[in-house]
Structure 1
Amino acid sequence: MREHAEDYLAMRRALGFQLTTFGQKLLSFIDYLEAHEMSVLTTEAALSWATSTPRSTDQVHWSRRLMVARIFARHLAVLDPATDVPPVDVLPHHYRRVTPHLYTPGELDRLLDAAGALRPQLRALTWRTFIALLAVSGMRTSEACHLDVSDVDFDDAVLTVRDTKFGKHRQMPVHASTITAIRDYLDAPERAHPVVHTPAVFITTRGTRLDHTNVPRTFAALIRATGISAPAGQRSPRLHDWRHTFCVTTLLTWYRDGVDVQARLPWLSTYLGHVDPKSTYWYLTGSPELLALAAERLEHAFGEQP
């Protein structure tokens, strides 16, 4: 069973899928089957594993775990006819987006001030520039961490984002002031102090690339230091919420300027590196103000009909 699972993951990754979370969950399922000495994948076993989460009783979480087992079972059934494929009506999948925190300009100022107070000075410079870049570009956190100096076109003010979430590359034009800020960070004396072991733009005090798996910890400390909080019942503000804030702010600006938002959505989708425009359409409900502007535009359009 484990060999089949590893072969399956290798095949999918060779086709360009990263399967980071999927792979972890699938191997967890294999661990469960082995621990219970099960040599055949059954619906009962898949359901039992999917719901065996002592820290969570969230049915959406359960359904996503079961979906991993179901997808693998469809593949395995071709190789082993005894395999059960869990029916789709068992823990039906529900798609749910976490309500994002939309940062205000004042909150950005407070976070930049808090980042500037970090020590040593290189850490402060790194975090101020890192947060500012996320705010003005809408890049994913991992994309900013993976950005190399060679990916910055200082003459044409373009960033090249490589090997993104969906294995693609894209070019992102940015404002000249953004390029100036990156250049100032790279030229800062503090950045030249450690021996740099990486071509990355953003480095740690050890001269290594900023690790996207560790940055949430520092950012959470900055959030606590500034006193920024989410409304009751919502998740604490995250680094990824800068991406949401960038998108919503862009859409708000377009609506206020009276441009054809529908025509420009594919531009925004491409700029953000979304796999398709439907991921960008979701942002139309990203804030009450944006939803109100969209509704107003819709009412105006219907009002012009005979």
Structure 2
Amino acid sequence: MSALRARAEEYLVMRRALGFKLESWGPRLMSFVRFCEDHGATTVTMDLAVQWATSTARGSDHEAYQARRLDVVRIFARYLQPLDPATEVPPEDVLDRRQWRVPPYLYSPQEVTALMDVARTLRPAFRGLTWRTLIGLLAVTGVRQGEACRMRRGDVDLNAETIVIEDSKFGKSRMVFLHPTAAAALRAYERARDEAFPRPTAGTFLVNSQGRPLDRRNTPKTFAQLVTAAGIKAPAGRRPPRLHDLRHVFTVATLLDWYRDGSDVQARLPVLSTWLGHIDPKSTYWYLSAVPELLALAATRLEPTGQDAKVTS
């Protein structure tokens, strides 16, 4: 084992002990360590860091994404420099950090229904029931797919019609309220699950056809099959629809309802941010500019009414 790898593994152990999950951060750091080893480097340098950050496996040439990769090296280098004075810490302005997000695929209500219908055809039958429930849950609550897969039985209170999302992204927990129809669907799933697996081997609310927790690594493949079977296609030049995009469907639908009802959207956005588990309201504000229909509705709030126009003319 190289000295650099040993330092990286030591650093990850320390960070995890402090409560950091490092689900994507850890693999990225070890990817950088392998890059250094492949180049025969024993010390972190700025040139190596930038070369690794800009040589992405998926070929992304957007600097905002590359800058986030470089952050991994920068934070590690700051830790490493007192131990190895030859370590170079990349400056924060090496790459353009302007935020960029890929527009989500927004499923129509008919497409969500179609996805749930084709999920019913999955075999074994209980697998289809789980997928139908998962798709519906994401669409009507906006929880993340990982949160839904980890959701434990004790987190779901169908009498109170609530779900507690424990220790989610950024270490935050929150409560999600269920519509009575959603609670009814979860009760039906719960009865079917307990009938199929009277002696549970998993503590999660949603289980696979063997009664075990859902494997998040397999969900993209299964969902891609459902998208194809439902006849859903992304516009030319856009990435394929994802399971995660159902979270966007909930968010946009909520905002559209607020605008159409005449609600004070600006005042209610922090509530939606909390509901979604966003650490920064800016993540929620992004939808106002990312979705044309929302942008148009927001713009109408800025336009003066006929009476106001007379006063100001």
Contact 1:161–1:170 (Cα < 8 Å) also in 2: yes
Per the TM alignment, residue 189 of structure 1 is displaced from its structure 2 partner at its CA by 6.8
CA, structure 1 residues 286+59, in 2 after alignment: closer, same or farther (shift >3 Å)? closer
Per the TM alignment, residue 53 of structure 1 is displaced from its structure 2 partner at its CA by 4.0
- Aligned twin of 1:25: 28
Q: Deviations over 1:253-295 (max 9, x none)?
A: 0000001101100110111111121111111123211110001
Q: Deviations over 1:179-201 (max 9, x none)?
A: 11111011127851585310211
- Aligned twin of 2:101: 97
**Cα distance in 1 for residues equivalent to 2:75 and 2:137:** 38
CA, structure 1 residues 94+286, in 2 after alignment: closer, same or farther (shift >3 Å)? closer
For 2:283, what is the secondary structure of its paired residue?
helix
- Aligned twin of 2:59: 56
**Cα distance in 1 for residues equivalent to 2:302 and 2:11:** 47
- Aligned twin of 2:77: 73
Per the TM alignment, residue 109 of structure 1 is displaced from its structure 2 partner at its CA by 1.4
- Aligned twin of 2:188: 184
- Which of 193, 203, 209 aligns to 1:199? It is 203
Contact 1:161–1:172 (Cα < 8 Å) also in 2: yes
**Cα distance in 1 for residues equivalent to 2:149 and 2:236:** 31
Contact 1:195–1:206 (Cα < 8 Å) also in 2: no
Contact 1:198–1:208 (Cα < 8 Å) also in 2: yes
Per the TM alignment, residue 240 of structure 1 is displaced from its structure 2 partner at its CA by 0.7
For 1:171, what is the secondary structure of its paired residue?
strand
Matched, 1:173 2:145: no
**Cα distance in 1 for residues equivalent to 2:116 and 2:185:** 13
Contact 1:248–1:286 (Cα < 8 Å) also in 2: no
Q: Deviations over 1:54-105 (max 9, x none)?
A: 6515243433332321222122223322111123333333422111011111
**Cα distance in 2 for residues equivalent to 1:203 and 1:112:** 17
**TM-score using structure 2 length:** 0.91
Per the TM alignment, residue 174 of structure 1 is displaced from its structure 2 partner at its CA by 1.0
For 1:163, what is the secondary structure of its paired residue?
coil
**Cα distance in 2 for residues equivalent to 1:158 and 1:52:** 44
After TM superposition, the structure 1 stretch with the greater mean CA deviation from structure 2, 224-233 or 31-40, is: 31-40
For 1:39, what is the secondary structure of its paired residue?
coil
- Which of 285, 290, 293 aligns to 1:286? It is 290
Letter in 2 for 1:64: R
**Cα distance in 2 for residues equivalent to 1:189 and 1:139:** 21
Contact 1:121–1:190 (Cα < 8 Å) also in 2: no
Give ranges in structure 1 of 5+ residues lacking alignment.
none
- Aligned twin of 1:145: 149
Letter in 2 for 1:256: R
Q: Deviations over 1:149-191 (max 9, x none)?
A: 2111122111111121111211111111111111101112785
- Which of 48, 57, 65 aligns to 1:45? It is 48
- Aligned twin of 1:159: 163
Per the TM alignment, residue 212 of structure 1 is displaced from its structure 2 partner at its CA by 1.9
For 1:181, what is the secondary structure of its paired residue?
helix
| Number of residue equivalences | 306
Per the TM alignment, residue 51 of structure 1 is displaced from its structure 2 partner at its CA by 3.4
Contact 1:67–1:93 (Cα < 8 Å) also in 2: no
**Cα distance in 2 for residues equivalent to 1:57 and 1:100:** 17
C-alpha RMSD over aligned residues: 2.2
Matched, 1:2 2:8: no
**Cα distance in 2 for residues equivalent to 1:57 and 1:264:** 35
- Aligned twin of 1:241: 245
**TM-score using structure 1 length:** 0.93
After TM superposition, the structure 1 stretch with the greater mean CA deviation from structure 2, 145-154 or 5-14, is: 5-14
Give ranges in structure 2 of 5+ residues lacking alignment.
none
Q: Deviations over 1:200-237 (max 9, x none)?
A: 11111111011222111111000001110111111111
Letter in 2 for 1:50: A
**Cα distance in 2 for residues equivalent to 1:2 and 1:62:** 22
Contact 1:63–1:92 (Cα < 8 Å) also in 2: yes
